[in-house]
Amino acid sequence: MRIALGADHAGVVLKEQLKQHLDRRGIQYEDFGTHTSESIDYPDVATVVAREVAAGRFDRGVLVCGTGIGMAIAANKVAGVRAAPVGDERSAALSREHNDANVLALGARVTSAELAIRLLDLFLDTPFAGGRHQRRLDKIALLDQGSR
Ligand code: RB5
Active site residue 65: yes
CA 108 – ligand 1 centroid, Å: 9
pLDDT score for 104: 99
Task: Write out the H or E segment, with its range, that includes residue 4.
Answer: strand 2-7
State the Cα torsion 65-69-74-75 to the nearest 10°.
80
Task: Write out the H or E segment, with its range, that includes residue 138.
Answer: helix 132-144
Determine the angle formed by the axes of helices 113-125 and 12-25, rounding to 10 degrees: 50
Instruction: Give strand pairing partners of 107.
Output: 65
Range of the domain at 67: 2-144
Across 53-64, average pLDDT: 98
Convert the pLDDT of each residue in 9-36 to its tens digit: 999 999 999 999 999 999 999 999 999 9
Q: Are strands 60-65 and 2-7 parallel, antiparallel or unpaired?
A: parallel
Convert the pLDDT of each residue in 61-120 to its tens digit: 999 999 999 999 999 999 999 999 999 999 999 999 999 999 999 999 999 999 999 999
The whole model's pTM is what? Answer: 0.98
pLDDT score for 112: 98
CA 68 – ligand 1 centroid, Å: 8
Report the domain count for the chain. Answer: 1
Mutation test of ligand 1: which of 63, 65, 77, 110 has the most ligand atoms closer than 8 Å to its C-beta? 65
pLDDT score for 148: 62
Residues with CB under 6 A from ligand 1: 8, 10, 42, 65-67, 69-70
Check which CATH number belongs to the domain holding 16 and give it. Answer: 3.40.1400.10
Q: Give the DSSP letter of residue 127.
A: P
CA distance 25 to 37: 26
